[in-house]
Structure 1
């Protein structure tokens, strides 16, 4: 998920306000009071060969410890084969309603005839978030995300969580309902920042009233037996890389690692998910997207010893979605 849409504000009419709790969800899950707990999460697994290689490198040779898979994409079978051979990997679903690239596209798993509002004139998923909001119904959205979950299960995956590619499921109150519905019905945690959420509030400029509405959604998820995030760090895709750094791995690693270290220092007590897009870019990736340096930098940062040391220096506890659900199951 690159950006939480400002349209998330719209669900003000759906949920009532809730007061901020002084107890973090991390504490409710049994972590020490005041602990900074972190999921280092890689988006876009399955999107391409390079995406798969980057995610695997970041998690097996670096400090990243979670990922999510874009089920409609061409390189999903290869990544799921890796997951089935490595069941300890924390892997969820990056629920996908967009195919945003120019010449590298994918179609809905539910089929065009079942979800016509999710497809463009070529039969692919829409490129833009706004197009999905304009054309798709909530029923079509549910059919598609359910189809993505069904495919994952059929392939042998046991998704540890759900999140949203490009934040599209946050772009409409009705879409958001379907996202939460899928998680609760299947008892799969959903990515939703609903604690104090200091980082995401500052990034998205949410008001206190809007954050109270988020917290009510979080309470609903918690009451349904699912773990809830305190906060979300979703800035890395927007970091502007200097031109003289983009094509120099050493400089790129140093730049991105420092940005992540700054991110670690910004964490507040509670459980936070930090999003990245680790990619082992080859000469082919530029034919998909011009975001290669951003994504390669993420991978290089995750394998940098300096980042591992910073995690220790900041006394950060790493966790996974699997652990959060196990902890939630033990809480009465």
Structure 2
């Protein structure tokens, strides 16, 4: 059985308060003699198998030393972009002595909002998709919260991706390669929620706007059918009428498109160029490697953690709007790989 703090203090010949201070590890002893005593107490604690009671420490501090991550997507763990957010946030919190608590916001708010109100977490990051009842919950809790690229009308501090910039870079890249016939491969209608997300809506709007400016609005097709259906439609077209570039809703969709094109003997990028969004980890290793837009996931995660920890420590934050609510927009990057090339037909 692990030793108690009182037993450690007795074995070390110090008071319980002194033992607790030495074992917290939060301080740097100024005097050499004090440092030696602290090291001795820690060594005795290690030998006696002492384990700190984090619950007791949290009660004493009146905080949980945990940050929540609220998400409303049942399949959040399957999406690459969320893997990167979770991993980065966990890492940054660990460096600051905090834990990450996942809070699935699935079902009515009554099923999950209590986790934000009962002291389990000191603050919360909200990931897409935002729960429908988010604003209602925000009005009833006193908890620092921040959203990462949410599609919501809720009044919440936000870090966004510059989706308009990303869409513009994609279209300009394809135009520079001589492409004039375009196809947008979206998800099929059963996944209609993703078609309403602000990222998708913004990308589609900018793509259409730029093509219209170049007089190419009639050379753009937007499809929400399944990938096999979309690619079959393309394969049935005369070669002279086929799109020369396919813009996919995201990298996963882009790779599905490239696989379907391959089954029809349509080569990428020789016959059709393909581009995606998100820069999933697998996109660089696909054959051909996928040209894509890199989202500032790591930067957003770092800034989210810093914002919340600064808030908890009563530090002033920058990038506030006139209303005092954080609204930060981070740049995206075009990653040019082997799935796009100059037009050959």
Report the TM range for the smaller structure's normalisation. Answer: under 0.3
Structure with the bigger percentage of strand: 2
Considering Cα pairs closer than 8 Å and 6+ residues apart, tell me whether 1 or 2 has the greater RCO: 1
- TM-score normalised by L of structure 1: 0.24
* Greater Rg over alpha carbons, structure: 2
- TM-score normalised by L of structure 2: 0.24
